């Protein structure tokens, strides 16, 4: 099983310069080929080959290095990884899962990846161009379970350096419990509440997160009043970055605790897949989705389910999970987002909107794995998105991790 741990790096001054060179060169390569790929598309729109792929860009990178020899100073594989990330960004765009890739800005989400030749020697992590190793601190428990390091991603956050180690884990997981209707749960992730479970339990968004968000807003206002390039401004920027980091850590901690509690309690856990595009389309939802980090939650839930021998079932984006009556199956097409209580005109049932949705999600999941017969008519099946049910799509660590926030 592949998992990840984040450690803090303590580079010396020489290493800091080399790390900055890596961030800079990887950003340069990313932006350069983002532009090239756009240019190529504009001039070859109607040609048989209308776009550049990853392999085209790796060939072009070799030429680019001759033109800019300073690119030789950094790990060649890290530059190639930038092309890989760019390619993924374009693929997501082509598949309508994301917006068009954006140019990277200096000092904003600085990162680079190292895919090979990584080792940990004592309290140092060694990789190409850093053969003497960078001193680090991390969780001893996590580090002791590393069987093989697959990749590392180095990031900079509020002036500090971090390394996410993606690794193959030692040890076997317990055998999965059989899929069963008993002790199964549907989870509706939402705006008002973080999660509503089909047995009636609701998990509220934690208040401490709101507190930090308030502090962030205050700092943002302060920042807007500071003069450009002033020392005071720099101080506020650092404070703001630290507040963001605190917020991220709090969220991660919250998601970790919730996913453990759910994985321990239930044997079959059913959640809805979330289309990135749907979230982007609805701005109001997009904000909240960012807030509660649904993707991160799903990833954690998957890991915890493995750890405790439980089953995670992901159903396809099932549009009317909130519009269906969980009692009689009536589809209420005109249900508004503001209606917090689902009232069914056919059977007369009244129920909390999210609770009703979680019951539907559970039912759809049980149908998907064949434990329950579908009670829905073919027309409902066609309009419900049930045909779109597909297995869990693993998302990359970079997508799910803190880098994109």
How far apart are CB 322 and Zn ion at their closest, in Å?
14
- Name the phi and psi angles at 133, rounded to 5: 90, 150
Binding of residue 261 to Zn ion (CB under 5 A): no
How far apart are CB 360 and Zn ion at their closest, in Å?
11
Beta bridge partners of residue 197, listed in sequence order? 187
Burial zone of 63 (CB within 10 Å; 0-12 exposed, 13-18 middle, 19+ buried): exposed
Contact region with Zn ion (CB under 5 A), list: 11-19, 208-216, 311-319, 343-351: 343-351
Characterize the bridge pairing of strands 350-352 and 341-343.
Answer: antiparallel
Binds Zn ion by CB under 5 A, chosen from 17, 181, 328, 337: 328
- Tell me how crowded residue 271 is: count the other CB atoms within 10 A of its CB: 26
Contact region with Zn ion (CB under 5 A), list: 2-10, 43-51, 102-110, 346-354: 346-354
Contact region with Zn ion (CB under 5 A), list: 87-95, 336-344, 386-394, 396-404: 336-344
Contact region with Zn ion (CB under 5 A), list: 157-165, 171-179, 185-193, 323-331: 323-331
How much of the chain is in helix, strand and coil states, percent to nearest 5? 50, 20, 30
Contact region with Zn ion (CB under 5 A), list: 57-65, 94-102, 280-288, 340-348: 340-348
State how far the alpha carbon of 231 is from the alpha carbons of 158, 216, 223, in Å: 16, 19, 12
d(CA 87, CA 81): 10
Is 57 or 326 the residue whose CB approaches Zn ion more closely? 326
Is 53 or 350 the residue whose CB approaches Zn ion more closely? 350
Is 141 or 345 the residue whose CB approaches Zn ion more closely? 345
Binds Zn ion by CB under 5 A, chosen from 47, 181, 337, 346: 346
Euclidean distance between the first and the last CA atom of the chain, given in angstroms as a whole number: 25
How far apart are CB 373 and Zn ion at their closest, in Å?
19
Helix (H, G, I), strand (E, B) or coil at 294: helix
Binds Zn ion by CB under 5 A, chosen from 58, 123, 327, 383: 327
How far apart are CB 327 and Zn ion at their closest, in Å?
4
How far apart are CB 324 and Zn ion at their closest, in Å?
9
Binding of residue 238 to Zn ion (CB under 5 A): no
Contact region with Zn ion (CB under 5 A), list: 143-151, 283-291, 313-321, 339-347: 339-347
Binds Zn ion by CB under 5 A, chosen from 26, 344, 366, 386: 344
Give the H or E element holding residue 228.
none
Per the CB < 8 A criterion, the answer to whether 380 and 331 are in contact is: yes
Binding of residue 364 to Zn ion (CB under 5 A): no
| Structure tokens, 157 | 């956050």
Is 346 or 381 the residue whose CB approaches Zn ion more closely? 346
Binding of residue 330 to Zn ion (CB under 5 A): yes
d(CA 313, CA 311): 6
State how far the alpha carbon of 151 is from the alpha carbons of 101, 148, 256, 342, in Å: 23, 9, 22, 47
Beta bridge partners of residue 341, listed in sequence order? 352
Binding of residue 335 to Zn ion (CB under 5 A): no
Is 275 or 329 the residue whose CB approaches Zn ion more closely? 329
d(CA 295, CA 401): 9
Contact region with Zn ion (CB under 5 A), list: 42-50, 127-135, 208-216, 320-328: 320-328
Binding of residue 347 to Zn ion (CB under 5 A): yes
d(CA 354, CA 189): 8
Which residues contact Zn ion by CB under 5 A?
A: 325, 327-328, 330, 344, 346-347, 349
């Amino acid at each position: 099983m592949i998992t990840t741990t984040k450690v803090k790096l303590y580079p010396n001054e020489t290493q800091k310069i080399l790390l900055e060179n890596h961030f800079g060169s990887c950003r340069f390569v990313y932006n350069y080929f983002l532009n090239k790929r756009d240019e190529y598309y504009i001039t070859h729109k109607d040609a048989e080959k209308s776009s550049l792929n990853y392999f085209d860009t790796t060939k072009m990178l070799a030429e680019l290095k001759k033109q800019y020899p300073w690119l030789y100073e950094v790990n060649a594989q890290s530059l190639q990884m930038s092309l890989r990330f760019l390619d993924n960004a374009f693929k997501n765009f082509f598949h309508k899962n994301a917006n068009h890739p954006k140019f990277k800005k200096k000092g904003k989400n600085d990162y680079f990846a190292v895919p090979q030749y990584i080792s940990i020697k004592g309290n140092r992590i060694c990789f190409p161009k850093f053969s003497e190793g960078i001193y680090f601190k991390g969780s001893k428990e996590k580090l002791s379970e590393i069987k093989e390091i697959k990749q590392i991603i180095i990031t900079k956050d509020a002036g500090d350096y971090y390394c996410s180690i993606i690794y193959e884990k030692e040890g076997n997981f317990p055998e999965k419990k059989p899929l069963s209707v008993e002790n199964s749960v549907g989870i509706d992730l939402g705006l008002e509440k973080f999660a509503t479970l089909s047995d009636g339990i609701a998990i509220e968004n934690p208040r401490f997160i709101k507190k930090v968000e308030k502090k962030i807003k205050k700092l943002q206002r302060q920042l807007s009043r500071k003069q450009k390039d002033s020392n005071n401004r720099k101080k506020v920027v650092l404070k703001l970055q630290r507040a963001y980091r605190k917020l991220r850590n709090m969220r991660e901690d919250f998601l970790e605790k919730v996913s453990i509690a759910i994985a321990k309690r239930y044997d079959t856990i059913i959640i809805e897949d979330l289309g990135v595009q749907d979230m982007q389309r609805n701005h109001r939802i997009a904000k909240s989705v960012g807030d509660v980090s649904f993707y991160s939650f799903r990833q954690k839930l998957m890991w915890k389910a493995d750890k405790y021998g439980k089953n995670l079932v992901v159903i396809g984006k099932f549009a009317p999970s909130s519009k269906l009556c969980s009692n009689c199956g009536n589809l209420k097409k005109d249900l508004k987002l503001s209606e917090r209580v689902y009232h069914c005109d056919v059977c007369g049932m009244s129920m909390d909107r999210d609770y009703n949705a979680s019951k539907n999600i559970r039912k759809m999941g049980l149908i998907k794995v064949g434990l329950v017969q579908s009670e829905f008519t073919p027309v409902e099946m066609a309009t419900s998105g049930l045909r779109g049910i597909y297995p869990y799509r693993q998302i990359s660590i970079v997508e799910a991790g803190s880098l994109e926030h």
